[in-house]
Amino acid sequence: MQTGVGGHSSLEAWVHRHEVALRRGLWAYAVALGVASVAIGFHRAAPGDRYDFKSFYGDAAFLARGGDLVDCRLLEWYLPGFRVMLTPLGRLDSRAAAAVWSGINLIMSVVAFAALACCARRLTNPDQRDARLWSIGAAFFLIAPLVFYNFQISQVSLWPLAMLMLAAAAVVAGRWQPTGAWLGLAIFFKFIPALLVGWLVLRRRFAAAAVAIIVPAALSFGIDAAVHGPRQACNHHAHWFDVSFHRSAGAAFLEREAEWKTHENQGLAATLGRLLQPTPTATTGVLGGEVRRQVRQVNIANLDADTIRWIYRGIMAASGLTLAALTFRARRESETEFALLAIWCVAIIWFAPLARQYYECWGLPALWFLADRLWRHQAAGSRGLVCSTGLIIWLLGCLAWIAPELRAAGINQWVNLIVMGAVVCELSRPPETAAM
């Protein structure tokens, strides 16, 4: 590989020459993204009847009027206590509630990137300002469209992202109990990250795993019981458990209504259903009968539901065993622990029964890890082919979202698989090869 002035690599020399411009550009990009995100988030949420804010605000308003949580719109992926916690939001008019919602999302975004900056400082040498600028800037550039999309759709996925990044910062600092607490908060905000308890168990961090289970359970039941009483809280949680682990778990999505199988659901079960059996295209989406564009499903085979169910279970079992073996055998060092967490953050989406595009923001730690390793390989004279491939495929995957037919083929999940594979390949390198 060619080197620049003073023996530096081409990438390192270029970043060093343009450091001031890059820093200013990154700050300008961040401010513009923040302003645009808050504006679009407020605009989309303010009427109170569009996108995901409809469900959150509608339920909060219903509970504020004395309604029962069991009678609210079904939201399987949120613990009862979290939804009860949003009740004060329902006492505001829709515009004030939208402003609060957008403000919280902005705070969570800032927290997530501040935590990433802390991780970068701990995992790079103190004098490597150029490396941190490159890695954080590259990760921010690639993840920014997803941050914007979360605001646009009025989602809550930035809340667990902030908690996951705080957990990552605690991991690289060697503080495992706080790691469990931050993970517990991520689970409380959105139940899907509960898969990460398995990561703590396989790393034999049992105390942290216990904290990650106790925190969301105590918060959910405690908040619900404080507002509705222990008996009602028990009923709410029993109803939630029955729905979430029977109607909405894994292969159960093959039996769901057609609107849950559209291209907007990138979950593996729904994707296999579209690819391996003729799937009716839904003309109405999940959000209160909102008319959606019809998308021609990508059908490559015509298998019966039982066969697809076994294929799905086989892929899940093989993926789970591979992930468990990798996690159990990995080295115990800060950078490796961060990389494992990055893999598991993407694996959340791979294993999720329902996987929306906005979940992809949880790929932030994996993108930073690949960008950081690409810098190291460049400086050492290596091509960094694996890292650059992972980053380029991620970017191409984001661009592919404009084609609903590619989303129907599960483009998000296949990109996730490649990104996880790139991080795994980097972990397989001996320490002396991967280090600067």
pLDDT tens, N- to C-terminus, the chain (436 residues): 444 444 456 666 766 676 667 667 776 777 777 777 777 777 766 664 556 777 788 888 888 888 888 777 666 678 999 989 999 988 888 888 888 888 888 899 989 999 999 999 888 877 677 778 878 888 988 998 888 888 888 888 999 999 999 999 999 999 999 999 999 999 999 998 999 999 999 999 999 999 999 999 999 999 999 998 999 989 888 888 877 776 655 555 555 555 566 777 888 888 888 888 776 655 444 444 455 555 666 778 888 888 888 998 999 999 999 999 999 988 888 889 999 999 999 999 999 888 888 899 999 999 999 998 888 776 555 557 888 899 999 999 888 878 878 888 888 899 999 999 999 988 877 654 444 4
Q: Structural domain of residue 56, as residue ranges? A: 5-434
Please tell me the predicted confidence (pLDDT) of residue 179.
96
Between CA 373 and CA 350 the distance in angstroms is 23
Please tell me the predicted confidence (pLDDT) of residue 422.
93
- Orientation angle between helical segments 230-242 and 206-228, nearest 10 degrees: 120
Q: What is the pTM of this model?
A: 0.88
Between CA 434 and CA 431 the distance in angstroms is 5
Given the structure tokens 């949580």, which residue do they identify? 69
Please tell me the predicted confidence (pLDDT) of residue 90.
86
Please tell me the predicted confidence (pLDDT) of residue 137.
86
3-state SS, residue 127: coil
Does residue 151 contact residue 41 with C-beta atoms inside 8 Å?
yes
Closest CA to 195 of 204, 186, 147: 186
Please tell me the predicted confidence (pLDDT) of residue 44.
65
Q: Indicate the number of domains in the chain.
A: 1
Given the structure tokens 């995957």, which residue do they identify? 397
